[in-house]
Chain A
Amino acid sequence: MHGLPGASTASPAIDDTAYLAAIMRSSADAILSTTTDGIVRSWNAACQAKLGYSADEMIGRSIAEIIPAELRDEALRIRQRVARGESVENFETVRLAKGGRPIEVCVTFSPIRCDGVGAIIGISGVLRDVTQLRQTERSAAMLAAIVASSSDGVVSKTLDGTITSWNKSAERIFGFSEAEMINRSIRTIIPAERQAEEDRILATVLSGEMIDNFETVRLRKDGALIDVSVTVSPVRDSAGRIIGASKIVRDITDKRQTRAQLRTLLAEVNHRSKNMLSLVQAIARQMTRHGRRLDLDRFLERLQAIASNQDLLIENDWRFIPLGDLVRSQLGAFRHLIGNRIAIDGPQIELTPEAAQAIGMAVHELATNAAKYGSLSGGDGRVMLGWSRDGDHFDMSWRESGGPPVSRPEHSGFGGRVISDMVRAGLDGEVEVEFAPSGLRWHLRCPLQRISRGNSHVRR
């Protein structure tokens, strides 16, 4: 070694040394040297800038000061290799700045020989801080991982529509692999009649605008069309120039189907609500025949009876109403009498909504009549309500006993027509109404198939 950095003499050799020392001082890379034992011999300004320690603080001290404890063995091995004459280039490791803050560095270690050729008298280290570079790489890797694992298809393309990236979900949605699509045109997945859309998308992207959730149809590799929602954004380079577009594609087949189902459902609601109004109209009309005044209380009771059917229907997904439930619901006002004065017996039968309406109205009328004039009007009378299956036929009967003596009414009112004519016509059945002195008897016999859909709906 000749002289100290900055020493000024006239000889050319000393000039060279000063020149080298100046380079070292002004280098943006941190340059330091140690003995083969790891004692710091030189420490340039960039070392101080990056690691925080000044040359005064470090020269003469062990380099181990800036090596994390767990990396000291690794550092020792490198020092031994360099001391034997090896160079270690671009070794990535961690060093500690003053205060203990770890920084990621890339170091090149070289042996220092006496007069450039002789015995190894020290080790030089040139350090670059790569913390920021590595962080950038890590965030890029993180973003790449997010794109790769996204459930949406994520695709990028150049301004002429050439695909530059194609993630796993894009593979799943379109059936084309990444290898098949890179460098191909995005128009591959656009149906012929929608090619103009791509012109519009590219024009929008070029103007710097994004396209948000554009719902359209795209083509799969197998030729099938799929409903998708597409979001396209311009991609800019660091100078702000638009160089391409990113495209996020979501498969909305399910959403479309849900919407179609909703439309069907709304049509059904429209139909059912208007039908219900027709039913209300029919009841009002039949209650006011021959100029009779509308008995509002009775009218509202009947509407309530129909409304309670609706609840049962909803409980069974609008498919059927169990007969036992229907009967108990229609006898709701006499709940406390069921099991003592009112006996109910019959197999469980799943009625169609229409049959449930007819039978429900009949039971409602029979019960109301019994409470007013029949066996439920006093304290002792009884009702037996039973039903059975007989091959392809269904039988149901209502028998009152123990009430006041019964006689045929002078004319048949609404209730009378419901339990006979309406049930007979609506269920293709035979109805007998007998005004026996001991109590009213009502019997319905109709094809089982008129009240229940298929035998699978009938079980005991």
Chain B
Amino acid sequence: MSAADKINVLIVEDDPMIGFDLSIELEEAGFAIVGVAPSVSKALHLLQRNRCDLAVLDVNLGEETSAPIARALSAAGVPFVAVTGYSVDQCPEEFATAPLLSKPFQTSRLVATLRRQLPR
């Protein structure tokens, strides 16, 4: 698979080490990383300027939640997977229909969940 054929994934994660780890893990699993965004503004900025096929969203970004990113992705028809330390009922409604992985999780589970979001 050439770089152009790779699936582009946006990672939204405010913890620098976890974001860094996720980007390495997903790259190793064969995805192309659009970027690691620690905030809503950075994520929306990256979405405007890059082709994005999938996204991994950490629900809680410290001072804000990634709900606005979830809305933008839904509007653009980009599927996403939510990862969070919250329990399901604590998540904003924007994540109601997205698959949710509770932290911590194994990379293999995230990769499998991401692949299931892709159109066949």
Q: Does A282 contact B (CB under 8 A)?
A: yes
Q: Between A and B, how many residue pairs show CB distances below 8 Å?
A: 89
Residues of B within 8 A of A353 (CB): 62
Q: Does A105 contact B (CB under 8 A)?
A: no
Q: Does A285 contact B (CB under 8 A)?
A: yes
Residue ID in chain B nearest A276 by CB atoms: B85
Residues of B within 8 A of A452 (CB): none
Residues of B within 8 A of A270 (CB): 85-87, 90
Q: Identify the stretch in A133-141, A381-389, A421-429 within 8 Å (CB) of chain B at 4 or more residues.
A: A421-429
Asked if B16 and A421 sit within 8 Å, CB to CB, the answer is no
Asked if A271 and B84 sit within 8 Å, CB to CB, the answer is yes
Q: Identify the stretch in B18-26, B49-57, B70-78, B111-119 within 8 Å (CB) of chain A at 4 or more residues.
A: B18-26
Q: Does B103 contact A (CB under 8 A)?
A: yes
Asked if B24 and A271 sit within 8 Å, CB to CB, the answer is no
Residues of A within 8 A of B25 (CB): 285
Would you give the shortest CB distance from A308 to chain B, in whole angstroms? 15
Asked if B85 and A274 sit within 8 Å, CB to CB, the answer is yes
Would you give the shortest CB distance from A344 to chain B, in whole angstroms? 22
Q: Does B66 contact A (CB under 8 A)?
A: no
* A277-289 vs B, Cβ < 8 Å mask (1 yes, 0 no): 1111111011001
Q: Does A213 contact B (CB under 8 A)?
A: no
Per DSSP, are chain A's interface residues mostly helix, strand or loop, or mixed?
Answer: helix
Q: Does A272 contact B (CB under 8 A)?
A: yes
Q: Identify the stretch in A20-28, A51-59, A354-362 within 8 Å (CB) of chain B at 4 or more residues.
A: A354-362
Asked if B38 and A426 sit within 8 Å, CB to CB, the answer is yes
Asked if B17 and A279 sit within 8 Å, CB to CB, the answer is yes
Q: Are A425 and B23 CB-contacts (below 8 A) given A271-B85, A354-B38?
A: yes
Q: Does A352 contact B (CB under 8 A)?
A: yes
Asked if A426 and B62 sit within 8 Å, CB to CB, the answer is no
Q: How many residues of B contact A (CB 8 A)?
A: 28
Would you give the shortest CB distance from B37 to chain A, in whole angstroms? 9
- From the candidates B24, B62, B86, B104, name the one contacting A354 in the complex (CB within 8 A): B62
Q: Does A267 contact B (CB under 8 A)?
A: yes
Residues of B within 8 A of A271 (CB): 60, 84-86, 90
Asked if B103 and A358 sit within 8 Å, CB to CB, the answer is no
A285 to B23, CA, bound (A): 12
Residues of A within 8 A of B23 (CB): 425
A285 to B103, CA, bound (A): 15
Would you give the shortest CB distance from B19 to chain A, in whole angstroms? 6
A426 to B86, CA, bound (A): 22
Would you give the shortest CB distance from B17 to chain A, in whole angstroms? 5
Asked if B16 and A281 sit within 8 Å, CB to CB, the answer is no
Residues of B within 8 A of A450 (CB): 38
Q: Does A377 contact B (CB under 8 A)?
A: no
Asked if B85 and A426 sit within 8 Å, CB to CB, the answer is no
Asked if B102 and A274 sit within 8 Å, CB to CB, the answer is yes
Would you give the shortest CB distance from B113 to chain A, in whole angstroms? 16
- From the candidates A274, A277, A285, A357, name the one contacting B16 in the complex (CB within 8 A): A357
A352 to B22, CA, bound (A): 21
Residue ID in chain A nearest B107 by CB atoms: A285
Asked if B85 and A425 sit within 8 Å, CB to CB, the answer is no
List A residues 410-446 near B (Cβ within 8 Å). 417-418, 421-423, 425-428
Asked if B20 and A425 sit within 8 Å, CB to CB, the answer is yes
Asked if A422 and B62 sit within 8 Å, CB to CB, the answer is no
A353 to B87, CA, bound (A): 22
List A residues 202-241 near B (Cβ within 8 Å). none
Asked if A282 and B18 sit within 8 Å, CB to CB, the answer is yes
The 4 nearest A-B residue pairs measured at CB: A426-B16, A274-B85, A282-B21, A271-B85
- Beyond A275-B60, A278-B104, 8 additional contacts (C-beta under 8 Å) are A271-B90, A282-B18, A285-B107, A286-B17, A286-B20, A289-B24, A425-B23, A426-B20
